[in-house]
Chains A and B, each alone.
Chain A
Amino acid sequence: MWSICKKELNQFFSSLTGYIAIILFLLINGVFLFVLNDSSIFEFGYASLDKFFELAPWVLMFLVPAITMRSLSEEFRAGTFEILKTKPLSSWQIVWGKYFSILIVLLLAILPTIIYIITIKALSAQGGIDGGGILGSYIGLFFLVAVFAAIGLCCSGFTSNAVVAFLISAFSCLILYFGFNALSKLPFFENGADYYIEMLGIDFHYRSISRGVLDTRDLVYFISIIFIFLLTTVKNLHKK
């Protein structure tokens, strides 16, 4: 499992993929949060990183599929999956290996944003920022990334075309993050179903954790979603 993870990481960082993904993520966040006036944290007037945690899911929604799109579909296309299959590895090991490599790349992308916390803390008038809220938001962001990565990996396993994998997984992420939330706002579901529909989406649980409370319900939700997508991936690999 770890050999696959290592190989994948090598692949990310020997080509430009890994670097570009990380740099783009930081660049977009940096420009939006600290340079452009409309969305700048400084213009906001409060020492809080809420804006970052609002923006990050939307950036990641396109970034994560871009990282995951090649991981399985490229193997199918190049025929290297046949070689992988003959190795003494179970499907679970292959999937976990790839999944962890993606997670590591994404964590490397998120890690430098700790500088934002230090910046905001240093610039705040009273030196007080909501540390608990930020810790909660980072945990929420980690789970969000983990779910997106699982979706991307799953979608990549269904096709040998990387572009198709990217489009499908970006769309799935959008549906799961924002779709249920938007759906619950339809007048048809008003009074009754809307609450439960909203609960199906990631946004509901992400925001719940962002307040600074880690509830077991949100935890179970995120783990369930990750589990179901990874399971589907494994099942899919079995068929190939």
Chain B
Amino acid sequence: MGLLNKIWKHKGWFVITIAALVAINWLASMYHTRLDFTNEKRFTLSSPTKKVLQKLDDVVQVDVFLKGDFPSGFKKLANSTAEILQEFKEVAGNKLGYNFISPDEEMPEASVKWGDTLSAIGLYPFNLKSQLKEGEKQQLVYPVALIRYKDRVLPVRLYNGIPNIGQKEINSAEALLEYELANGIYKITNEEKPMLAYSIGNGEPPVGSYITYDLVENLLRPDYNLFTFNLNTQAVIPDTFKMLMIVKPTKPFSDQEKLKIDQFIMRGGKLLLFMDKLNAEMDSLRIKNEVIAYDRGLELNDLLFKYGARVNSDLVMDLQSDKLPFDVNGNGQFDFLTWNYFPVFASASNHPVNKNIGFVSGKFVNSIDTVEAEGIKKPFC
């Protein structure tokens, strides 16, 4: 009390108090914790992330190139990255290290700047121009991180937006940070890629076609060993495959094929089925003014029913839907009008599949009913 009284009586009490408060705030910024009120726990690590981090067997080093003098938008991004990595560290312990490097620094044992190396491997910077009193100033910002594990290196982009970064962009980038970093760590620490079977033989678009290009080249090939698999000719689906993908089948499945799929699932395989029950395509509308959606007759009803799902023969219409350009007066004046058959989906659930995903646009979608099935648990309901 004596010291406090002395300060209280002292002439410079105000300065002393301010200094003390600044110190307290600084300390608070070093040791801080937070409470997450949001329904979907947006600001808390998801359990798959934790699982990846807990299973690390060797040191993962993350280098983030967001150090230096930036506009406040990128500074906020750097801070959120540091916060997320700190949270990662709390889970992973000494198996994870991170540091922030300025792209102007030189690489160890080489007289090359980090920034040049990053550009050379295709991680292009944002070129920020700011107006000074005399002339302009250019600054290169690399919102990227390099994840290192054993002798491997994997680059991760932390922000893919417009250079003029605002609160909105920060929020969306922040929401994706956890996924980007955790996914990078997962990829680099996985010794071998899981095997994936891509089913053909029931009218699915082949792997090499332009329809599946994005799916195959950007999503599947980087993370999986992809094999095409003909359900018709092969006797069984081997257990070495982790997952079977059936993408937009158009021809009916025979009983034998369904048995193979069922056996595969019974032995622990996973199935991703992307199907349209009805034949309704935009192509038909290009030619005619109307389209009749008829059943493709895939014969998958009984199989899905066993798994507790029923895809209905209908098309979902919704007011919250995507917009399409329409010729409004017949003279080529196009206007964007809502097209109710392309509903826009949003979900607030915290399931890893849809956490932090924005709106998803559906095209001629069928409704799905869940049905009671013995021994089937549905964690998403």
Complex-state Cα separation, A207 to B167, whole angstroms = 10
State whether B25 touches A213 (Cβ < 8 A).
Answer: no
Complex-state Cα separation, A131 to B24, whole angstroms = 31
Q: B341 CB to closest chain A CB, in angstroms?
A: 18
Partner among A136, A187, A194, A221 whose Cβ is within 8 Å of the Cβ of B25: A221
State whether A131 touches B39 (Cβ < 8 A).
Answer: yes
Say if the beta carbon of B72 comes within 8 Å of chain A. Answer: yes
Of the stretches B10-18, B155-163, B361-369, the one at the interface is B10-18
Say if the beta carbon of B28 comes within 8 Å of chain A. Answer: yes
Say if the beta carbon of A235 comes within 8 Å of chain B. Answer: yes
Say if the beta carbon of A132 comes within 8 Å of chain B. Answer: yes
Closest B residue to A219 by beta carbon equals: B28
State whether B17 touches A231 (Cβ < 8 A).
Answer: yes
State whether A217 touches B17 (Cβ < 8 A).
Answer: no
Partner among B13, B14, B25, B70 whose Cβ is within 8 Å of the Cβ of A220: B25
Could you tell me the dominant secondary structure of chain A's interface residues? helix
Q: A142 CB to closest chain B CB, in angstroms?
A: 14
State whether A133 touches B72 (Cβ < 8 A).
Answer: no
State whether A212 touches B69 (Cβ < 8 A).
Answer: no
Say if the beta carbon of A68 comes within 8 Å of chain B. Answer: no
Partner among B17, B70, B131 whose Cβ is within 8 Å of the Cβ of A187: B131
Partner among B18, B28, B171 whose Cβ is within 8 Å of the Cβ of A228: B18
Say if the beta carbon of B29 comes within 8 Å of chain A. Answer: yes
Give the bracket for the number of chain B residues in contact with chain A: 20 to 34
Say if the beta carbon of A128 comes within 8 Å of chain B. Answer: yes
Say if the beta carbon of B71 comes within 8 Å of chain A. Answer: yes
Complex-state Cα separation, A195 to B39, whole angstroms = 29
State whether B32 touches A215 (Cβ < 8 A).
Answer: yes
Closest B residue to A234 by beta carbon equals: B8
Partner among B39, B43, B71 whose Cβ is within 8 Å of the Cβ of A213: B43
State whether A192 touches B69 (Cβ < 8 A).
Answer: yes
Given contacts A211-B43, A217-B28, contact A228 B21 (CB under 8 A): yes
Say if the beta carbon of B134 comes within 8 Å of chain A. Answer: no
State whether B139 touches A132 (Cβ < 8 A).
Answer: no
Residues in B with CB closer than 8 Å to A191 are: 69-71, 130, 139
Partner among A128, A227, A228, A232 whose Cβ is within 8 Å of the Cβ of B348: A128
Q: A216 CB to closest chain B CB, in angstroms?
A: 5
Residues in A with CB closer than 8 Å to B37 are: 131-133, 135-136, 212-214
Within 8 A of A (CB), among B89-109: none
Closest A residue to B319 by beta carbon equals: A125
Residues in A with CB closer than 8 Å to B320 are: 125
Given contacts A191-B130, A195-B72, contact A216 B34 (CB under 8 A): yes
Could you tell me the dominant secondary structure of chain B's interface residues? mixed
Say if the beta carbon of B35 comes within 8 Å of chain A. Answer: yes
State whether A216 touches B32 (Cβ < 8 A).
Answer: yes
B 27-46 to A, binary, CB cutoff 8 A, 1 in contact else 0: 01100111111110011000
- Between B28, B38, B72, B139, the greatest number of chain A beta carbons within 10 A of the residue's beta carbon is seen for B72
State whether A224 touches B39 (Cβ < 8 A).
Answer: no
Q: A82 CB to closest chain B CB, in angstroms?
A: 23
State whether B28 touches A235 (Cβ < 8 A).
Answer: no
Complex-state Cα separation, A214 to B348, whole angstroms = 20
Say if the beta carbon of B76 comes within 8 Å of chain A. Answer: yes
Closest B residue to A224 by beta carbon equals: B21
A 200-217 to B, binary, CB cutoff 8 A, 1 in contact else 0: 000000010001111111
Partner among B25, B35, B39, B43 whose Cβ is within 8 Å of the Cβ of A217: B25
Say if the beta carbon of B75 comes within 8 Å of chain A. Answer: yes
State whether A220 touches B69 (Cβ < 8 A).
Answer: no
Q: A238 CB to closest chain B CB, in angstroms?
A: 9
Complex-state Cα separation, A11 to B18, whole angstroms = 34
Given contacts A194-B72, A207-B167, contact A132 B38 (CB under 8 A): yes
Partner among B32, B39, B131 whose Cβ is within 8 Å of the Cβ of A132: B39
Chain B interface residues (CB < 8 Å from chain A): 13-14, 17-18, 21, 24-25, 28-29, 32-39, 42-43, 69-72, 75-76, 130-132, 139, 167, 171, 320, 348
Chain A interface residues (CB < 8 Å from chain B): 125, 128, 130-133, 135-136, 184, 187, 190-192, 194-195, 198, 207, 211-217, 220-221, 224, 227-228, 231-232, 235
Besides A190-B71, A212-B36, 16 new A-B residue pairs in contact (Cβ under 8 A), listed by A number: A133-B38, A187-B132, A191-B70, A191-B71, A191-B130, A194-B71, A195-B72, A211-B38, A212-B38, A212-B43, A213-B34, A213-B35, A214-B34, A216-B34, A220-B25, A228-B17
Give the 6 A-B CB pairs with smallest separation, nearest first.
A132-B38, A132-B37, A220-B28, A212-B38, A191-B69, A192-B69
Pick 8 A–B contacts, CB within 8 A, sort by A.
Answer: A136-B38, A184-B72, A191-B69, A194-B71, A211-B43, A213-B34, A214-B35, A216-B28
